[in-house]
Amino acid sequence: MTSAFAPQPEFLRLTRLHAFYGESHILHGIDLSVAKGECVTLLGRNGAGRTTTLKAIMGMVGRRTGSIMLNGNEVINVPTHKIARHGVGYCPEERAIFASLSAEENLTLAPIVATGGMSVEELYEMFPNLKERRNSPGSKLSGGEQQMLAMARILRTGAKLLLLDEITEGLAPVIVKKLGEVITELKQRGFTIIMVEQNFRFAAPLADRHYVLEHGEILATISREELPGKMDWLHRTLGV
Amino acid sequence: MEIFGIPTALLGSQLLVGLINGSFYAILSLGLAIIFGLLNIINFCHGAQYMMGAFVAWIALTRFGINYWVALIGAPLIVGVVGVLIERLMLRRLYKLDHLYGLLLTFGLALIIEGIFRDQFGISGESYEVPEALTGGVNLGFMFLPIYRGWVIVASLIVCFGTWYMIERTKLGAYLRAGTENSQMVQALGINVPLLITFTYGYGVALAAFAGVLAAPIFQVNPLMGSNLIIVVFAVVVIGGMGSIMGSILTGLGLGLVEGMTKVFYPEASSVVVFVIMVIVLLVRPAGLFGKS
C-alpha cells in the first residue's frame, strides 16, 4: 500500500537474473524490483521458477548470473550466510524445521542480523501455540506449528525482507487465516515481503503487486489496482 | 575370591583393560561421528591422526623437552591445525560428491601420513614415559590400578561428556546439530557453515590426537598404532549408529568392556567379538543401536 503513495526506497532489484541447477537453465532473465514496505507475490504454475527465484536471491542455486541489488549492495557473488546478514529472512516451502532441536532452539538458532527484530516473548504472543510447545522437538510439531516456527525464527533476527515460499500449503483454514493476520501485521510494521503462493485467495488481498512467471521469465506485472480487470486472464494463465 | 570360577584379580584387570580400550574407542569414534555428521565424510585417516598426536607428544618431549601436560593440550592443537588444512585444501572439494570419494581420499591420506612417519621413524616403536605425577598405582583390594590408566579413563570420560555437553547444550552445538540435518538452511539463516565445517573437522581430528597423546605412555609410539586400532573404531561407529554422539561414547565404552570380558571367558574370540556384534547389529538394526533410520 505504501507504493501507491510516495515512492519508497528500493529494497531489492533483480536485473536479468539467470539461475541454473547443474546443466538446467531455470531462470531466464528475471527483472523485478520491490520497494521497502511492499508486499509482492510471485505467481505461476508449478515449475515456472517462483521458488527458484527466492532461492536465487538467497544464493541457494548452483549458479547465478545477472544482478541482485539488496539495499543498494550487489550480492550476486555473495555467499548465502552473508545474504541473510543483509537482512533477508527465508522461509522455505518445506519449512526446514530442525528435528533434533526443540521448538525454542529452532526459534533462537539464527543469529541477530539487524536491530529491530522481534523478541522471543513478542513472537510467543504472536504465535501462542509455539509457547506451549517450546520444549517439544521440532519433529513433534504439527504442520501449522512448524510453519509458524519457520516464520517466527526469521522475525527474531531483525530481517527486513521476508521471502515466504508457499506458507499456506497443506494447512488447515484456521491456520491460514492466522497467517493472513500475521502478514497484515508485518506489513503494518514495515516489513518487505515476497510471497510465492498457490493460494491466490490468500495472497490477493495482501499483495501490493503480483509478478506472473512462466518458463523462468516474468510474463506480467499486475498491480493491486489492475487486478480486478485481469482476473480472467490470470485464472486462464495460472490454470486455477 | 572367584566369580564364575575366575579369580577377581584377573576379572578386574581385564575389566580395566577393557575400560581403557573402550576409552580410546569412545574418543576416536566420537571424533568420527562428529565429522561424519556434518561433513558426510568417513574420515579414514582418523587412525593416522591419532598416531600423529602420539608422535607430536613424543617429538615434543625428546627433541624439545616439552612435558606431557603441555603436549596433552599442544599436540591436539597442532594436529587439529593440520586437519583444518586438509579440510580447506582437499575435503572441501568433495562435499557434493558421494561419501565414497571422501573415504578414498582420506584412506589415501592415511597411507601417505603413515608412510612418511614410517620413513622418518621406522616401525620398531618409541617409548614415552608416564609423567611423574601419574606413576605408581593403587591397590583396590581385588586388583591393582595403575594411576596412569585410571587417569586415561577419567580424562577420556571428561572429554567425551564435555563434547556431548557442547553439542547438546550450547549454541555452537545447536548449529552443529542443525547443520547435520540441513546445512543449506542453516546457512540461509546467516550462519557461516563453511567455517563451522572447518571447525568441526579440526575438532574431530584434535580429539583423535588427544587420544594419541593419552595412548603414548601405554602403547608404543609407532607409525602403525592408528591403523591397528581404526578398524575396530569403525566397527564401534557402525554399531553405535553413524553420526550418533552419545551412541559413539556409550558403544565405545561398552564394546571395550565386552572385549575385555571376552578375553576372560573365551579368549579365542576376543579379537573378533566386536566384528561379530557389528554383523549382528547390521542385520537386525542397520542404523545402529543409537542411530535414527
Q: Given a cut of 70, is residue B153 above it in pLDDT?
A: yes
Domains of chain B: 9-125+146-284 (1.10.3470)
Q: Given this model, what pLDDT does residue A204 score? A: 92
pLDDT classification of B5: cutoffs 50, 70, 90: confident
Q: Given this model, what pLDDT does residue B242 score? A: 80
Cell (9 digits) for A29: 532473465
Read off the pLDDT of each residue in B93-104 and give the average, rounded to a whole number. 90
Residue from the list A60, A81, A105 with its beta carbon closest to the beta carbon of B190: A81
Q: Given a cut of 60, is residue A96 above it in pLDDT?
A: yes
Q: Given this model, what pLDDT does residue A1 score? A: 44
Contact B188 A105 (CB under 8 A): no
Percent of chain B with pLDDT over 90: 80
CA distance to A48, A90, A163, A239, B286, per residue, from A196 (Å)? 11, 12, 8, 16, 40
Strands A63-70 and A10-21: antiparallel
pLDDT classification of A131: cutoffs 50, 70, 90: very high
Backbone angles phi, psi at A132, to 5 degrees: -65, -30
Read off the pLDDT of each residue in A136-152 and give the average, rounded to a whole number. 95
Q: Given a cut of 70, is residue A4 above it in pLDDT?
A: no
Higher pLDDT, B13 or B211: B211
Q: Given this model, what pLDDT does residue B38 score? A: 86
Contact A100 B178 (CB under 8 A): yes
Average pLDDT, rounded, for chain B? 93
Query: What is the rounded end-to-end Cα distance, in angstroms, of chain B?
Result: 46
CA–CA distance, A37 with A50 (Å, rounded to integer): 20
Chain B closest-CA separation from residue A11 CA (Å): 18
Q: pLDDT of A177-216, one tens digit each? A: 999 999 999 999 999 999 999 888 899 999 999 999 999 9
Helix axes B8-39, B46-64, angle to 10 degrees: 110
CA distance to A146, A202, B235, per residue, from A171 (Å)? 10, 12, 44
CA atoms within 13 A on the CB side of B283: 6
ipTM at complex level:
0.91
Read off the pLDDT of each residue in B38-46 and give the average, rounded to a whole number. 91
**Residues A5, A179, A92, CA angle at the centre, nearest 5°?**
95
Q: Given a cut of 70, is residue A5 above it in pLDDT?
A: no
Q: Given this model, what pLDDT does residue A13 score? A: 97
Contact A144, A112 (CB under 8 A): no
Q: pLDDT of A153-186, one tens digit each? A: 999 999 999 999 999 998 999 999 999 999 999 9
Read off the pLDDT of each residue in B86-115 and give the average, rounded to a whole number. 94
Q: Given this model, what pLDDT does residue B158 score? A: 97
Of the residues A85, A90, A91, A100, the best mutation for testing chain B's interface (the one with the most B CB atoms within 10 Å of its CB) is: A100
Q: Most distant CA pair in chain B: distance in Å?
A: 64
Q: Which residues of A touch B177 (CB under 8 A)?
A: 98, 100-101
Contact A98 B191 (CB under 8 A): no
- Other Cβ atoms less than 10 A from the Cβ of B229: the count is 22
Torsion angle of C-alpha atoms B95, B99, B103, B104, degrees rounded to 10:
-90
List, in sequence order, every residue forming a beta bridge with A27; answer none if it has no partner.
Answer: A19
Contact B191 A111 (CB under 8 A): yes
pLDDT classification of B63: cutoffs 50, 70, 90: very high
Q: Given this model, what pLDDT does residue A200 score? A: 86
Contact A113 B190 (CB under 8 A): yes
Contact B189 A58 (CB under 8 A): no
pLDDT classification of A2: cutoffs 50, 70, 90: very low
Contact A181, A192 (CB under 8 A): no
- The residue of chain A with its CA nearest to that of B196 is A81
Q: pLDDT of B176-200, one tens digit each? A: 999 989 999 999 999 999 999 999 9
Q: Given this model, what pLDDT does residue A6 score? A: 56
DSSP A101-132: SBHHHHHHHSPP-STTPPPHHHHHHH-HHHHH
CA–CA distance, B27 with B53 (Å, rounded to integer): 13
